Copies of this chain bind each other. A is one copy, B any other.
Amino acid sequence: MEDEERLADLVKGGLAGEGFAVDVAHDGRDGLWMATENTYDVIVLDVMLPRMNGYAVCAKLREAGDWTPIMMLTAKDGIYDEAEALDNGADDYLAKPFSYVVLLARLRALVRRGGRERPVSITVGDLVVDPAALKCRRGEVEIGLTPKEFAVLHALARRSGEVVSKGELLAQAWDFSYDGDPNIVEVYISALRRKIDTPFGRTTLMTVRGAGYRLEAA
Interface positions, chain A 93-141, Cβ under 8 Å from B, are 99, 101-102, 104-106, 108-110, 112-119, 132-134
Chain B residues lying within 8 Å of A102, measured Cβ to Cβ, are 79, 82-83, 86
Task: Evaluate contact between A105 and B91: CB separation under 8 angstroms.
Answer: no
Say if the beta carbon of A92 comes within 8 Å of chain B: yes
Chain B residues lying within 8 Å of A108, measured Cβ to Cβ, are 86-87
A166 → chain B, closest Cβ, in Å?
13
Say if the beta carbon of A13 comes within 8 Å of chain B: no
Interface positions, chain A 181-201, Cβ under 8 Å from B, are none
| CB nearest to A113 among chain B residues | B91
Number of chain A residues whose Cβ lies closer than 8 Å to a Cβ of chain B: 42
| CB nearest to A134 among chain B residues | B163
Task: Evaluate contact between B79 and A147: CB separation under 8 angstroms.
Answer: no
* Distance between Cα atoms of A90 and B119 in the complex (Å): 15
Say if the beta carbon of A208 comes within 8 Å of chain B: yes
Say if the beta carbon of A161 comes within 8 Å of chain B: yes
* Distance between Cα atoms of A162 and B135 in the complex (Å): 9
Task: Evaluate contact between B134 and A109: CB separation under 8 angstroms.
Answer: no
Say if the beta carbon of A210 comes within 8 Å of chain B: yes
Which of B69, B161, B209 is within 8 Å of A133, CB to CB?
B161
Task: Evaluate contact between A86 and B109: CB separation under 8 angstroms.
Answer: yes
* Distance between Cα atoms of A189 and B214 in the complex (Å): 25
Pairs A–B under 8 Å by Cβ, sample size 13:
A67-B116, A69-B113, A79-B101, A83-B99, A87-B105, A87-B108, A90-B109, A92-B92, A133-B161, A133-B163, A134-B163, A134-B208, A146-B210
The 6 A-B pairs with the shortest beta carbon distances in the complex, nearest first, are A83-B105, A86-B105, A86-B109, A132-B162, A79-B99, A91-B113
